[in-house]
Structure 1
Amino acid sequence: MRKNPIVQRETLGAAVLQVRSGRATSRTTLAKALGISPSTTGLYVDHLIAEKYLNESGLNQGPMGRPRRILSTQAEAGWFAGLEFNAQRIQAVGVDFSGSLKMTVELPLPADVMAEQVIKSILTCVAKLAETMQGPLLSVGLGVPGLVDAQAGIGLYYAFIPDWNQVPVVDEIGSKLKVPVILQNNLRAIALAERWFGLGHGLNDYVILGPRSGFGIAMVQDGRVVEGSHHAAGEVGRWPWPLMGGAGEGKELHHALSAPATWRRLAGVDGLAKLPEDVRAGLAAFSDSTGPEWEAVCADYARVIGLLHMIIDTGVFILHGPLTMLGERFCQSITDAACAQMPALREGGLKVVPSTLGDNAGALGAASLAMEAWSPA
């Protein structure tokens, strides 16, 4: 094997990732995926088998040539925790070494939650996961709302938690758990969840639409999540609103298109009206809606998504959050309205679909983040 220990660790981690994803099922396919010689690949595989990270068993007979032994990951080698939060709750999942979801935990947060309590609640969720998961905790992924500096491990700003400003999340969590902690914006974490568990599997270009407490997007281009030079790629919720037709009096896009704002608009109530206890269920009640409120909401979403598509030209927009309860009809209405507003989109391949993942998509994405970043010690 190569002598540089950093290169060795990275290559070992990459080998596990290729096997876990199913892109490599034998030593031969793994060598091709890693771009290294079969003999060197064999040394890495032998090491990972000896350390009980990989299995090699059975025979896979292809149409030609000799049978090949099948590589797979050892599910019990350890586990990854994935956690994602917003101002209302924390979602946590435990995923085994093979990438299978084994446990979920949800913890509500009080209305006046502050940063310190969020950190303590994250640790509580990990402890609850550990009661059931097998093997050692290997790494923790965190999906954090708002602006984040993933490299520095800092939550920069989140409008819905008053003191969430320059929070050293990785240091706070890592110092307690004694394992690597990987941080990312929660919508970008969801983009990884789609790659591993959802509609983004096998796609190189797609966009996550995230109308939740606020409104943001996450972009995957050429297989890579886009962060931006100032960690703010996708913060479209801060666009001035309306986008066309006069002054917005200080309002921003999330004031009109977040999940709570959308429910109020469909319900025909003012912006201060009390929300239902379950916003998802409240939105589901409008899935067969018609009339001017429905048309106005679809037209506004169409304007935003149509303009984004003209800039990004992505393969598909994947809708996440409570608005998925409006179903495929909502997504098709957005597409139709966008093409009516902007005829150039009719030949542009605009496609909007609801995610098949549920409320724990952000936590699954955070676990995916931990899996992708892991390498053996």
Structure 2
Amino acid sequence: MLGSAILKVRSGRATSRTLLAKELGISPSTIGLYVDRLIAEGFLNESGLNQGPMGRPRRLLTTCAEAGWFAGIEFNAERIQAVGVDFSGRASAAESRPLPAEVKAELVIEEILECVQSLSRSMRGPLLSLGLGIPGLVDAQAGVGLLYAFIPDWKDIPVSEKIGSKLKVPVILQNNLRAIALAERWFGLGHDLSHYVILGPRSGFGIAMVQGGLLVEGAHRAAGEIGRWPWPLDGASGKNQELHHALSASATWRRLAGVGPQEKLPPDLRAALASCADIKGQVWDEVCADYARVIGCLQMIADSGVFILHGPLTMLGNRFCDDIVSAAYEMMPALSTVPLKVVPSSLGDDAGALGAASLAMEAWSPP
């Protein structure tokens, strides 16, 4: 309950003892004991006066930024993103590190530890917890990275044990796209949403779903692995292709740029995609139609409030999202009963790291 109280204050939903009692559904006298303890231990401040439209002024509750910090790290086969977030939920430090081609799991672990050490030089207070956004299949409860196809030896890696034993703090794992869903809740468009879907066409293609304010993991922790769907969806190509072969960020750039599948990727994929944002014609329409087919099907399943696009394809802008929606309505008239909305995220490349830090914040409670 103490952890929940801190989360409510940090989110801005509870700025007084009275509001905090209402948010948590407990008596004012009990909340008074909690708040007094959290103030005494240096986690909350109570100062100033907040005069509402009626009644007596209320003293303001805020979190103590210097009480400690949370590290958030997300990686894929190409790079590591890291952020440090203070106790009040403000990102205060960031770092990005490239990974070599054909990187091994052990090097990824070493780089994560070095990133945390580097972040600590810019942060105040003790490190309280580390959140990790891990690609592929994750057993979050056991703290194990189960499988990631783009790092061949990333199989059944006891990540929490390997890293937690060195840092001496809790290490919380989650699939990286589900971590991004938490980043949207704390730092982006999902703050006031209970139903939304993260679209993640990056080196592969996956999604993360939030339903009723909760992350959807699935019975086998594989919810959202749509990149493994056959492509085309009827499976008729005879090439044994999967969806990510055609709709990942790199594959989409190759299609829009009119280059072959073996063409080397540009050093800055985001900039290269930005240069494609004004393309018109058949290729653009075909790409949008492919995304419309996938997202339209997902909407009929999930009935989401909004699909939030992440990754390099956000550089294609609102026009890309709007054209997807238009193509989906034309393709699937039934969508008129479950309206479709697709928007680019306002968060950047560090969204996964911000989400991982959010994961650490949400899971942490005072000892």
TM-score by length of 1: 0.96
* SS of residue in 1 equivalent to 2:96: strand
Q: Which amino acid aligns with 2:123?
A: M
In structure 2, list runs of 5 or more residues that go unmatched.
Answer: none
Q: Which amino acid aligns with 1:147?
A: L
* SS of residue in 1 equivalent to 2:206: strand
Deviation at 1:247, TM superposition (A): 3.6
Supply the distance in 2 between the matched residues of 1:319 and 1:28 (Cα, whole angstroms). Answer: 38
* SS of residue in 1 equivalent to 2:149: coil
Does the 8 Å CA contact 1:80/1:95 hold for their aligned counterparts?
yes
| Partner in structure 1 of residue 187 of structure 2 | 197
Deviation at 1:322, TM superposition (A): 0.4
| Partner in structure 2 of residue 58 of structure 1 | 48
Q: 253, 276, 286: which is aligned to 2:243?
A: 253
Supply the distance in 1 between the matched residues of 2:271 and 2:253 (Cα, whole angstroms). Answer: 10
* SS of residue in 2 equivalent to 1:240: coil
| Partner in structure 2 of residue 96 of structure 1 | 86
* SS of residue in 2 equivalent to 1:140: strand
* SS of residue in 1 equivalent to 2:84: strand
| Partner in structure 1 of residue 38 of structure 2 | 48
Supply the distance in 2 between the matched residues of 1:345 and 1:65 (Cα, whole angstroms). Answer: 47
1:273 counterpart = 2:270: no
| Partner in structure 2 of residue 162 of structure 1 | 152
Q: 281, 297, 307: which is aligned to 1:291?
A: 281
| Partner in structure 1 of residue 302 of structure 2 | 312
Deviation at 1:255, TM superposition (A): 0.4
| Partner in structure 1 of residue 74 of structure 2 | 84
Q: Which amino acid aligns with 1:286?
A: C
Deviation at 1:19, TM superposition (A): 0.2
Q: Which amino acid aligns with 1:97?
A: F
Cα pair distance change 1:248/1:53, threshold 3 Å:
farther
Q: Which amino acid aligns with 2:61?
A: L
1:325 counterpart = 2:309: no
| Partner in structure 2 of residue 237 of structure 1 | 227
| Partner in structure 1 of residue 365 of structure 2 | 375
Q: Which amino acid aligns with 1:25?
A: T
Q: 1:196-233, CA deviations, whole angstroms, 9 ceiling, x for partnerless residues?
A: 00011110000000000000000000000000010100
Does the 8 Å CA contact 1:215/1:237 hold for their aligned counterparts?
yes
Deviation at 1:346, TM superposition (A): 3.1
Supply the distance in 2 between the matched residues of 1:269 and 1:64 (Cα, whole angstroms). Answer: 65
| Partner in structure 2 of residue 302 of structure 1 | 292
Q: Which amino acid aligns with 1:170?
A: S
Q: Which amino acid aligns with 1:233?
A: A
TM-score by length of 2: 0.99
Supply the distance in 2 between the matched residues of 1:229 and 1:271 (Cα, whole angstroms). Answer: 35
4+ residue runs over 4 A deviation: none
Which deviates more from structure 2 when the two are superposed, residues 340-349 or residues 359-368?
A: 340-349
* SS of residue in 1 equivalent to 2:207: strand
Deviation at 1:245, TM superposition (A): 6.8
Deviation at 1:98, TM superposition (A): 0.1
Q: 233, 252, 270: which is aligned to 1:262?
A: 252
Q: 1:312-338, CA deviations, whole angstroms, 9 ceiling, x for partnerless residues?
A: 110000000000000000000100000
| Partner in structure 2 of residue 209 of structure 1 | 199
| Partner in structure 1 of residue 13 of structure 2 | 23
Q: Which amino acid aligns with 1:132?
A: S
Cα pair distance change 1:248/1:76, threshold 3 Å:
farther
Q: Which amino acid aligns with 1:182?
A: I
Q: 1:158-187, CA deviations, whole angstroms, 9 ceiling, x for partnerless residues?
A: 010010000001101100000001000000
In structure 1, list runs of 5 or more residues that go unmatched.
Answer: 1-10
| Partner in structure 1 of residue 211 of structure 2 | 221
Deviation at 1:275, TM superposition (A): 1.2
Supply the distance in 1 between the matched residues of 2:156 and 2:27 (Cα, whole angstroms). Answer: 45
Supply the distance in 1 between the matched residues of 2:319 and 2:336 (Cα, whole angstroms). Answer: 18
1:35 counterpart = 2:25: yes
* SS of residue in 2 equivalent to 1:220: strand
* SS of residue in 1 equivalent to 2:324: helix
Which deviates more from structure 2 when the two are superposed, residues 321-330 or residues 243-252?
A: 243-252
Cα RMSD after superposing both structures:
0.8
Which deviates more from structure 2 when the two are superposed, residues 88-97 or residues 236-245?
A: 236-245
Aligned pair count?
A: 367
Which deviates more from structure 2 when the two are superposed, residues 57-66 or residues 195-204?
A: 57-66
* SS of residue in 2 equivalent to 1:304: helix
Supply the distance in 1 between the matched residues of 2:79 and 2:258 (Cα, whole angstroms). Answer: 27
| Partner in structure 1 of residue 137 of structure 2 | 147
Q: Which amino acid aligns with 2:326?
A: D
Q: Which amino acid aligns with 1:354?
A: P
1:74 counterpart = 2:64: yes
1:173 counterpart = 2:163: yes
User: What is the aligned-residue identity percentage?
Assistant: 74
